[in-house]
Structure 1
Amino acid sequence: MASREQFSSKTGFVMAAAGSAVGLGNIWGFPTQTANNGGAAFVLTYLVLAFCLAYPALMAELIIGRHARANMVTALRGLASGPVTYRLGSLVGYYGVIVAGLILSFYAIIAGWMLAYLLESVTMMFGWAEAGIWLTEFGFERNLITMTVFIVLTMAINVKGVTAGIEKWSTRLMPLLLVLMLALIIYVLMQDGATEGLKLYLLPDIAQVNPSLIVSAMGQAFFSMSLGVGTMLVYGSYLAEKDSLPKLGATVTLVDAGIAFMAGLLIIPAIYVAGQYGADIFTEAGDLIAGPDLIFQVLPVLFDSMGSVGLWAAFAFFLLMSIASLTSSISMLEVPVSLVAEKTTASRTQATLIIGLAIFSVATLILLNFDRLFGLVIDLTTVYSQPLLGMMICLFVGWIWHRNQLLQAIQKGHADIEKTWFWKIWPAYVKFFCPVLILTAFIQSLG
């Protein structure tokens, strides 16, 4: 058996794992959830739950991954204690791989929109008005072309492997993402109206914390870490045994929560600044506009108000969004690619092409039936499937995997882990509390 690739450094892993967690949902989902769920009260609750829910679940995936050094299906089968749990491992593993592929199928469409607006800012710099109009008008041809470009970019990185592809580009793209975000934050905070947004974002009203807000924050903390579909499990399988998993997991959680916080620091004040320039920033119900409407309707008003500087600001912002999309998509593609490369005779290049074509086909099918399938696929994967998959991974670690084997797996890289608070709390926490918390979020989402 050929030696398995590994991340060449802890920094490379942290950048790749944080890149997986930091995506479009993180940069526009977190700020708009914040706006619609009590502002700073939501931020505070989210930060607490990022460590109470996301971190323990992240640790479950990383530990399974490094222990198994394999794809999601093989990893979960390896924890089985008998034929029933073996079949359960197969079911959960294959379903996780399918869900990862479905997520990437709709994600590539949205990321294509970001690329279109990025190119539109370039065409406007050169005065190519007609090209700019085509790029910003919703249509099948535009959506198909930009989605295809994005899938090809994702495949081009993944085909290079872990060190030369995923790690290399994550360590380049993530610092660029942070620099762009910081520059935009500084600019936005200097504008009229930003103070009102800052107050909403930074001054919590504890009275607004209620069960609904807690469940929303719980869901955001879980989804923003790309948990449940095996991305962190597969990344964990590429970690060296000398690395301390509890420390690496805590670092990834801190980086992810920090970037989500920065995204809110950019978007919430930017909405209020855009409102100063005549943008309609509230819905009829009085909530701030969320989702695609925020990105494609509110912020362009802000960029237009900035004159010639606005073209560069729009370019920087949509470049930021495109980078966030790409760092997430390469991790999602790795889940099915690792399965095909390890379970068949296909090379990594062949596996990437096979999976890439499959995802392209599903994404094209979604585009051809956009009104019926787009929202359905999003709900099926992120609302219903991810929480249940995450809960199953916690159950595998807490109830199926033998406790002594679990301890031995964590001791690699952290010999004295048995004496730490992590070992005293985490096993019972992931066994009892995490499944209950995730199930609560799932039941709430059904309502």
Structure 2
Amino acid sequence: MSNSSAGRETWSTRIGFILAAVGSAVGLGNIWRFPFQVGQEGGAAFIVMYLAFVVLIGFPAMMVEFVVGRQTGLNAVGGIREFAGGAWKYLGGLFVFIGFVILSYYSVVGGWVLRYILGSATGGYIAQGPGEYFVQISSGLDALAAHAVFMLLVVIIVALGVKQGIELGVKIMVPAIIAIFALLAVYAFTLPGAGEAYSYYLSPDLDYLLANWQSIVPAAAGQGFFTLSLGMGVMITYASYLSEDENLGIDGGTIVIFNTGISILTGLIVFPILFSAGVDPETSGAGAIFLSVAEALGNLQFGRIIGVLFFTTVAIAALSSAISLIEVVVSYAIDEFGIARERATILIGSAIFLLGAPVTIDTVMVDLYDIFAAQILLVLGGILLVTLVSWLHPEEAIDELSKGIKSFSGIDQVWLWTVRIPVLVVLIVSLYLGIDTFVDFLTGDAFTDFLASL
């Protein structure tokens, strides 16, 4: 297999790649999706399953994407075609489609975040009431306009290129996320409900885990893949800009540690705020984190200031992930059709905006898109790619993974068999459970009531 990527842009530094990958992984999945998943799935019981999934399944699966990306030096579609040929090229097309779907509703939620920065500064959601404020900004023309603004910001950054746009942006955004969240975590520690919150968040109820594993497993699988940006071609695309002397294992481990750490840090901020304000953390639904945090901030001293800091950080994280999602599609357009980056980014950004427009009709559409994308499409993409790399092209995978690794002889074989059996089995089970969850949603009261209202 030859590397046909001559003339492509590359990362200027290794830290640029790591920050870009961390920026992709650290986003709304960690800050918007993670807390309400924890609340829905039993608090610390979910944390146990999520951490196990990230370490034992997510990290080895990330190496699979790295192998394909770096060896071929191409986008997700071109990379998989070059790596395997034949009908497997359509797997790359699936990744592009997944990125399209996720960013379409991700951008709508990103628009909500922008409105909450303004609402924190003005006290809008405190004066109006969290419930009424969320209803106003989460659907209709308000949501559509905010969705457009968020996508415009994403398009501007990605149109500037890998070095001047993506890499420069994440070098500013990722350290800012960590610094602000560290300060907020210290503040949350001083709140009167912090002790109860930490108990809920960090002390798992194993009986609950065993009794509810059928819902927790697909939720943890989807969350792990979502927050690590797996199953959507992002890590294939980002690794395609890497040189052959990089140690993929160390880079991947660094990304996983940073990403997981920020997820856990988010909970250390959100749950003390909720418990201190007497807000139920098990409130379900895509808008839960907005409603709950807004209600809590209205009852806290310095609530407006904390709100501005919190939602600004969420917005930064959302942008850092969104630029990685659109880059999957943009790199495909550039590599396969020779379209200039600026034109490709504008066209693709416009198409994603249109796909996300129906999400602004009602928040139930966010749940629909999210369950379908995170618990079915991402896991399906992971299953197919793991099968391709570990069972059909193991020698090429081992050779590529070994580049840049100077020690740990035999670690490549451990990785290969980990991916071949336990990772694949867990993903297949997760997909089955995810489909079951999606069917339950389609037949549930929330979605059927929505359809009846149309």
Q: TM-score, normalised by structure 2?
A: 0.87
Distance 1:271 1:321 in 2: 17
CA pair 109-65 structure 1, distance change in 2 beyond 3 A = same
Q: CA deviation at 1:49?
A: 2.1
Residue in 2 aligned with 1:363? 356
376, 396, 402: which one aligns with 1:405: 396
**Residues 119 and 135 in structure 1, CA contact (< 8 A), matched pair in contact too:** no
1:16-35 aligned within 5 A: 16-35=20-39
Task: Look up the equivalent residue of 2:395 and give its one-letter code.
Answer: N
1:2-13 aligned within 5 A: 2-13=6-17
Instruction: Say whether 1:322 aligns with 2:315.
Output: yes
Distance 1:348 1:293 in 2: 34
- Kindly provide the CA deviation profile for residues 374-433 of structure 1, in whole angstroms up to 9, marking residues without a partner as x: 4433333222211100111101111222x332222123222556x14x213111121222
Distance 1:254 1:36 in 2: 24
**Residues 230 and 335 in structure 1, CA contact (< 8 A), matched pair in contact too:** yes
Task: Look up the equivalent residue of 1:342 and give its one-letter code.
Answer: D
Residue in 2 aligned with 1:289? 283
- Kindly provide the CA deviation profile for residues 30-56 of structure 1, in whole angstroms up to 9, marking residues without a partner as x: 233333434333323322221100001
CA pair 300-379 structure 1, distance change in 2 beyond 3 A = closer
Distance 1:217 1:373 in 2: 21
Between 324-333 and 295-304, report the one with greater CA deviation.
295-304
Residue in 1 aligned with 2:376? 384
The residue matched to 1:78 in structure 2 has which SS? helix
Between 62-71 and 370-379, report the one with greater CA deviation.
370-379
Residue in 2 aligned with 1:310? 303
Residue in 1 aligned with 2:427? 438
Instruction: Say whether 1:396 aligns with 2:388.
Output: yes
1:94-105 aligned within 5 A: 94-105=93-104
Q: CA deviation at 1:241?
A: 1.4
Between 424-433 and 143-152, report the one with greater CA deviation.
424-433
Residue in 2 aligned with 1:285? none
Task: Look up the equivalent residue of 1:100 and give its one-letter code.
Answer: G
Residue in 2 aligned with 1:427? 416
Distance 1:186 1:97 in 2: 40
Instruction: Say whether 1:106 aligns with 2:100.
Output: no
What is the total number of aligned residue pairs between the two structures? 425
Residue in 1 aligned with 2:444? none
The residue matched to 1:223 in structure 2 has which SS? helix
The residue matched to 1:137 in structure 2 has which SS? helix
Residue in 2 aligned with 1:345? 338
Distance 1:371 1:111 in 2: 13
Task: Look up the equivalent residue of 1:218 and give its one-letter code.
Answer: A
- Kindly provide the CA deviation profile for residues 140-170 of structure 1, in whole angstroms up to 9, marking residues without a partner as x: 2211211111001101111111111111111
The residue matched to 1:62 in structure 2 has which SS? helix
**Residues 117 and 136 in structure 1, CA contact (< 8 A), matched pair in contact too:** no
Q: CA deviation at 1:118?
A: 0.6
219, 241, 266: which one aligns with 1:238: 241
CA pair 380-215 structure 1, distance change in 2 beyond 3 A = closer
- Kindly provide the CA deviation profile for residues 310-336 of structure 1, in whole angstroms up to 9, marking residues without a partner as x: 111110111011111111100000011
Residue in 1 aligned with 2:450? none
Residue in 1 aligned with 2:156? 156
**Residues 66 and 237 in structure 1, CA contact (< 8 A), matched pair in contact too:** yes
Distance 2:188 2:140 in 1: 34
Distance 2:19 2:73 in 1: 20
CA pair 249-355 structure 1, distance change in 2 beyond 3 A = same
The residue matched to 2:283 in structure 1 has which SS? coil
Distance 1:176 1:291 in 2: 28
**Residues 19 and 328 in structure 1, CA contact (< 8 A), matched pair in contact too:** yes
Residue in 2 aligned with 1:300? 294
Q: CA deviation at 1:214?
A: 4.2
Task: Look up the equivalent residue of 1:346 and give its one-letter code.
Answer: I
Residue in 2 aligned with 1:249? 252
Distance 1:359 1:263 in 2: 28
Task: Look up the equivalent residue of 2:65 and give its one-letter code.
Answer: E
Task: Look up the equivalent residue of 1:348 and give its one-letter code.
Answer: R
Task: Look up the equivalent residue of 2:27 and give its one-letter code.
Answer: G
Distance 1:321 1:204 in 2: 27
Distance 2:155 2:418 in 1: 38
Distance 2:170 2:364 in 1: 34
Instruction: Say whether 1:269 aligns with 2:261.
Output: no
Residue in 1 aligned with 2:230? 227
Residue in 2 aligned with 1:120? 119
11, 16, 19: which one aligns with 1:15: 19
Distance 1:375 1:37 in 2: 16
Task: Look up the equivalent residue of 1:103 and give its one-letter code.
Answer: I
- Kindly provide the CA deviation profile for residues 267-295 of structure 1, in whole angstroms up to 9, marking residues without a partner as x: 122210120xxx4x26xxxxx11344432
- Kindly provide the CA deviation profile for residues 153-203 of structure 1, in whole angstroms up to 9, marking residues without a partner as x: 101111111111111111111111111111111112211111100111222
Residue in 1 aligned with 2:175? 175
Q: TM-score, normalised by structure 1?
A: 0.89
Instruction: Say whether 1:187 aligns with 2:180.
Output: no
Between 406-415 and 384-393, report the one with greater CA deviation.
406-415
CA pair 194-415 structure 1, distance change in 2 beyond 3 A = closer
**Residues 304 and 310 in structure 1, CA contact (< 8 A), matched pair in contact too:** yes
Q: CA deviation at 1:136?
A: 7.2
**Residues 218 and 431 in structure 2, CA contact (< 8 A), matched pair in contact too:** no
Distance 2:336 2:308 in 1: 42
Task: Look up the equivalent residue of 1:335 and give its one-letter code.
Answer: V
Q: CA deviation at 1:365?
A: 4.0
Instruction: Say whether 1:74 aligns with 2:78.
Output: yes
Distance 2:95 2:292 in 1: 35
Task: Look up the equivalent residue of 1:24 and give its one-letter code.
Answer: L
Gaps of 5+ in 2: 437-454
Distance 2:142 2:41 in 1: 34
1:56-95 aligned within 5 A: 56-80=60-84, 86-95=85-94
Distance 1:322 1:440 in 2: 34
- Kindly provide the CA deviation profile for residues 17-38 of structure 1, in whole angstroms up to 9, marking residues without a partner as x: 1111112122132233333434
Task: Look up the equivalent residue of 1:328 and give its one-letter code.
Answer: S
347, 365, 376: which one aligns with 1:354: 347
- Root mean square deviation of aligned Cα: 2.4
